[in-house]
Amino acid sequence: MKSHDFANSKIIHKLKRIFNNGWRKPSVVMTGYLDRIGAGYVIENPEPLDFDFIPTELVCREDFQMKLAARFASIDKQEASCRAIITGPVGSGKTVLVKTFCRDLKRHLVNRRTINIAHVNCRNASTSTRVVQRILHAIDPGHPDRGLSIGELLLSLRKLTRRNSSHLIVILDEVDHMLRKSGDDILYQLLRIDEDQEGKGTLSLILVSQEQVLDVLETAVISRMGKTNLIKIPPYNENELYSIAMQRADLALVKGSYSDEIIRLIAQKSAPIGDARLAIELLKAAAESCEIRQDDHTDREISVDDVHAKDEILSVDMVSEIDAIEGLKPHAMLVLLAICRRLKKESSMTTGDVESLYAVVCEEYEQSMKSHTTLWKYLKELENRQLITTRISTVSGGRGRTTHLSMPHFLPSDIASRLEMLLKKRL
């Protein structure tokens, strides 16, 4: 072999080695970080963690289901048309209430009256023309979008509802957006659609809004909608948010990946504003945080840190750490430090544990314990500052009650670190 051939063969061999070692191996490393996608360590079915998911059973809104059903009591009659106005704050369950009601109503009347549903989000369709177009598409997907005036669109809707023997329920969600932009004339037109039908009802109307829409409607529209058809929905309370979060966890997460205490902590974090959407988003964020940190040595259970993982992004803290701790007396700080150290690992603790843990901290900092009465005053102050949340539960067997403490608005490890720094200066 000639010298230059030998040199070339060495170069080729070296290039092959570089290619094998330097290019192929990184390709494995590059895709390794994707291994957790679809692994299902914690999230088994992501669909129930979506805001648009409609559960089979609607929890904690049974009373309002009954009220809505009362407004539609005559809907099984061919000549009947019904009205309802649903108002309430964000995340109070307005949309899911209406969607589950219409779904269940269709099934209930399957052999008596065919029901079609046209659900229009007026935030996306904020003009009268767009609203009627969306309604027409719900009953006739091939209906043309452009080139028709509002009068022609309404005429098409009138013809379609009469040609079809089914009954149409129109849901105008976030209707306040349309009212601000186009006024309420379209509501008046929809309410009059059966005027020359000789009593035959073809269309029912449900308005959904965060705002009190009756205040902005004209008298003629209010008269046709009916003031008594208004249903006001309040924010969810902590126990209701707990039930919702637990329902979604049972449907979405791997069994054993969450505890009752973790779901309670999520409910407490979202309770100040009563928003079910926030509770569901906190559950999803906690599950994703737990999912992404999984390996062969990790406990596959959502932790307190996972629940607080997206606090900054979701802006769920009520006050800043500095504002919450500022002005606390040294022994109140010692009590809080004792609580934080336990809540680093547990999502809740009983008030019975506080005194013994406080004693340990006092010994560490060479301080004499305050009285039992003073300790309880400190706990009340910590609750007033929103540093802790208390919940009373009945002891199993019905004998006595226990007070549970948790820290839903702050990460206990962060508070503990800040306290340890402050106590060095204060003591």
For residue 161, how far is the Cα from the chain centroid? 36
Half-sphere exposure of 59 (CA within 13 A, CB side): 14
Pair 68, 98: CB distance under 8 Å: yes
- b vs e for 284-318, b when ≥16 Cβ sit within 10 Å of the residue's Cβ? bbbbbbbbebeeeeeeeebbbbbbbbbbeeeebbe
Q: Tell which residue, 32, 60, 35, 49, has the closest CA to residue 254.
A: 49
pLDDT at 27 (0 to 100):
47
Instruction: Supply the DSSP symbol for 141.
Output: T
pLDDT at 43 (0 to 100):
93
Pair 267, 391: CB distance under 8 Å: no
Helix pair angle (330-343, 351-364), 10° resolution? 120
pLDDT at 19 (0 to 100):
52
- Strand pairing report for 83-87 and 115-121: unpaired
User: What is the DSSP code string of 161-194?
Assistant: HHHS-SEEEEEEETHHHHHHHH-SHHHHHHHTTT
Q: How many helices (H) and strands (E) does the chain have?
A: 19, 8
Q: How far apart are CA 199 and CA 385, in angstroms?
A: 61
Pair 265, 242: CB distance under 8 Å: no
Q: How far apart are CA 73 and CA 315, in angstroms?
A: 43
pLDDT at 16 (0 to 100):
56
Residue with tokens 């009212």, as numbered in its chain: 179
**pTM score, whole prediction:** 0.80
Pair 318, 408: CB distance under 8 Å: no
- The SS3 of residue 258 is coil
pLDDT at 221 (0 to 100):
94
| Tens of each residue's pLDDT in the chain, 427 residues | 555 554 556 555 555 555 555 544 444 445 566 666 666 789 999 999 998 899 999 999 999 999 999 999 999 998 899 999 999 999 999 999 999 999 999 999 998 898 999 999 999 998 999 999 999 999 888 888 777 889 999 999 988 888 777 899 999 999 999 998 999 999 999 999 887 666 578 899 999 999 888 888 999 999 999 999 999 999 999 999 999 999 999 999 999 999 999 999 999 999 989 999 999 999 999 999 998 887 656 678 999 999 998 887 876 655 566 777 888 999 999 999 999 999 998 999 998 899 999 999 999 999 999 999 999 999 999 999 889 999 888 766 656 788 899 999 888 998 999 999 999 888 7
- b vs e for 203-236, b when ≥16 Cβ sit within 10 Å of the residue's Cβ? bbbbbbbbbebbebbeeebbeebeeebbbebebb
Half-sphere exposure of 341 (CA within 13 A, CB side): 15
- Residue 170, beta-bridge partner list: 118, 205
Per the structure block, which two tokens stand in for 134? Answer: 């969306």
